[in-house]
Amino acid sequence: MEEWILNLKLKISEQFYSESIVDYIERNYEIIKQRMIDQMELSLNFGKSLLDSELDAGVFNFVVKPVVKSFYKYWSDKDAKVGTLEQIRITLDTAKAIVRNGEVNKEEYNKLIDKNFMSYLENDQTDRQCNKNHKNYQKLKDITKKCFISQVEESIIFLSVKEEVNDYNQLSRIAFNHDKEKAYYALKRQLDYNEAGIEIVEQDNSILKVPTGRNIIVSVLRKGFELTKQTLLEDLDSIFS
């Protein structure tokens, strides 16, 4: 076989391989992105419903109700929604860079995490409402970084799936080798980090910069988390049933 023909075949093969990698990574990226957006919408909807319930239940809440509702509407529409969408992008782009690169050593991995974490933190819905000089802020920041790392690591698993899949349920089953326990561990790790962050705020809600109604907002955070957690665990049961 002539050398130029052999070289051409090799180039076509390399191009096809490269395009195949891009195809499955981008396919998985879009599936996970939509799943994360759905989870965000679920949490925000829980929050809105719970806030109304909390405000209606308190005898004296009519005093703070307009302020708290106004704050929550602005926060959910601006900070939480816009910020969380950006966090989703940062998480998935970080994971995608690692998957596309193939092998990444620990030093390179840590550099990539550190490089992207500050942008992730700046868009965190809780961090934006926190007093950075508070005694517990560093603890909250450390928890947020652990949460970011766990999200990136799980996203790497999902993005690496090469098999043919059409939706999140199929992707999830293949990503965890049809092992519900592995999927549960990955979910529980993220839930535990989220809960640890809420517990820090619960211990001393003066960390929040909100003008009034801190107790109500913290209560909504806790109850919203519990409802979201329950829904995600039920979804896991359904996916692996």
pLDDT above 70 as % of the chain? 77
pLDDT at 75: 54
The pLDDT of residue 219 is above 90:
no
CB 29 within 8 A of CB 92: yes
Residue 91 pLDDT class (50, 70, 90 cuts): very high
Tell me which DSSP letter residue 60 carries.
T
pLDDT band at 143 (very low <50, low <70, confident <90, very high): very high
Mean pLDDT (whole number) for 142-169:
95
Residue 214 pLDDT > 90: no
Mean pLDDT for 149-156 is 95
Higher pLDDT, 45 or 165: 165
Q: Which two tokens stand for residue 63?
A: 């005093």
Q: Which DSSP letter does residue 79 get? A: I
Angle among Cα 78, 154, 29 to the nearest 5 degrees reads: 65
Asked whether the predicted pLDDT for residue 12 surpasses 60, the reply is no
Of 50 and 4, more confident: 50
In this structure, of 72-81, 157-166, 190-199, 202-211, the range with the lowest mean pLDDT score is: 72-81
The whole-number pLDDT of residue 73 equals 56
Q: d(Cα 93, Cα 186) in Å, to the nearest integer?
A: 19
Per-residue confidence (pLDDT) for residue 42, from 0 to 100 = 84
Query: Highest-confidence range of 47-61, 100-114, 164-178, by mean pLDDT?
Result: 164-178
Task: Label residue 61 by pLDDT band (50, 70, 90).
Answer: very low
Cα dihedral: 66, 72, 77, 81 (round 10): 180
**What is the SS3 assignment for 151-212?**
HHHHHHHHHCCCCCCCCHHHHHHHHCCCCHHHHHHHHHHHHHHHHHHHHHHHHCHHHECCCC
Averaged over 218-231, what is the pLDDT? 87
